[in-house]
Structure 1
Amino acid sequence: MTTILVTGGTGTLGSLVTARLRAAGHEVRVLSRHAQPYAVDLRQGTGLDAALAGADAVVHCATTPRGGDDTAAGHLIEAAKRAGVPHLVYISIVGVDRLPLGYYKVKRKVEGMIEDSGLGWTVLRTTQFHDLVLTILQTSAKLPVMLLPAGVRVQPIDTAEVADRLAELVAGPPAGRVPDMGGPEVRTLPELAGAFLHATGRRRPVVPVRLAGMAYAGFRRGLHLTPDRAVGKGAFEDFLVTRAGRPGR
């Protein structure tokens, strides 16, 4: 039986990866700050040596846009090297090497740290999850008018499909940078807002707003998209149905 660690294993993606690995018969250790018996603070590096002892692989899903992912990854990599872990799988984002966004720059830095670690590694980049798009739309819909970035398209993918792919990758040998995963369609934000409003029974005017900055310009150019790798199956409307048809009313 293979022992696999999942960092961020209680999160949106990590919990799905954990469920799939356990269903496949693997022993899974869920790492988060509050999960027992492996309560690990990645930013401080506490608890890692015990959690990694005897592990065959790690799926690194833990992340935060508030910063510190590189520090956390550094602690994880060093502990994995001490434990002799042969395979580290990392989930990243399409466009981290092209978009001048702080969070993306850190994600790309972590990719480089893993590539240079001396560990066996696999990196998968995906487009934005349906969950993220839903959160953006729910936040915008709290106002009488939905204000959305003008000219921005997205290619959202089902988190469950990403979890399937990560579970497959970690069960295999280190594969380096594997092909990207993109959602099935490139859609405009107003299109997705229309689907959201219909599913939730709301009415809101949708107003595109032009923003400033190089990151916004990159999103307008579609640097976060991978239309040639539109391998996802579940459309955003399908995802809304799974959320009882009326998410976040």
Structure 2
Amino acid sequence: MSTILVTGGTGTLGSQVVTRLRDAGHEVRVLSRHSADHPVDLRNGAGLDAAMAGAEVVVHCASSPRGGDDTAAGHLIEAARRAGVGHLVYISIVGVDQVPYSYYQVKHKVERMVEESGLGWTVLRTTQFHDLVHGYFRAMTKLPVLLVPAGTRDQPISVDEVAERLAALAAAPPAGRVPDMGGPQSRDMTDLARAYLRGTGRRRPVLPVRLPGKAAAAFRRGAHLTPAHAVGTATFEEFLSARGAFPTP
């Protein structure tokens, strides 16, 4: 079994990847600024060399919409080279090369950094997690009207299914850019919003709002969707049921 280092290993996706890798018998190191065993700050690279020593695979799940992903990736790649790591696995997002949204653009930059790193690499792009869609609607229901982007569809996927795939990729040889993973259904955001309201027993008018800008236009075109790779199986309603919203059939 391999020694695998996971960045973002306490997050929504990373924690589930860690669990699956450990269940498979791998030695897993979880990187965190507050870790007692492997304290690491990806923003400046502090602690990376010690944490990386002897690692064979790195799974890079850490990410921040506030920025700095490219800086963090640079430190991680340099440390992986020094340590002789054989495989770097990176989780990305469908549409990062098509949607001119700053967070996506940085994710795409990191993809290119991984590809040009000289390391063995694997990149998996997925659509948005159910958790992200749920979090957006939960935040919007603080208002008297639930606002959604007009003319926009989403294809949410289960984080469990992504974690399963990512753990399998980490245990396999480098594969380059692998096929995208999308959720089972591409649905209008208005439809998803109403499903959320039904599932949580809340009542709000749903108001589609046409957003300005090139990024919003790209989302309306569906640049973040992957209908040809609708490999996920869990629907948004099933996600809500698992959270105790809908009654389980």
* TM-score class, shorter: over 0.9
TM-score by length of 2: 0.98
Whole-angstrom CA distance in 1 between matches of 2:242 and 2:33:
29
Shift, 1:34, TM fit? 1.1
**Runs of 4+ with >4 A deviation:** none
Whole-angstrom CA distance in 1 between matches of 2:15 and 2:183:
20
Whole-angstrom CA distance in 1 between matches of 2:181 and 2:208:
28
1:12 is paired with a residue of what secondary structure? coil
Partner of residue 4, structure 2? 4
Partner of residue 151, structure 2? 151
Partner of residue 213, structure 2? 213
2:19 is paired with a residue of what secondary structure? helix
Q: How many residues align?
A: 246
Partner of residue 133, structure 2? 133
Whole-angstrom CA distance in 1 between matches of 2:36 and 2:100:
37
Partner of residue 94, structure 1? 94
TM-score by length of 1: 0.98
Partner of residue 181, structure 1? 181
Structure 2 counterparts to residues 1-249 of structure 1, below 5 A = 1-245=1-245
Report the residue type matching 1:227 in the other structure. P
Query: 1:30-50: CA deviations, max 9, x gaps?
Result: 011112211110011000001
Where does the alignment leave 5 or more consecutive residues of structure 1 unmatched?
none
Report the residue type matching 1:161 in the other structure. E
1:78 is paired with a residue of what secondary structure? helix
Report the residue type matching 1:181 in the other structure. M
- RMSD of aligned C-alpha atoms? 0.7
Whole-angstrom CA distance in 1 between matches of 2:200 and 2:226:
29
Whole-angstrom CA distance in 2 between matches of 1:48 and 1:204:
48
Where does the alignment leave 5 or more consecutive residues of structure 2 unmatched?
none
Query: 1:107-150: CA deviations, max 9, x gaps?
Result: 00000001000000000000000000001111111111111110
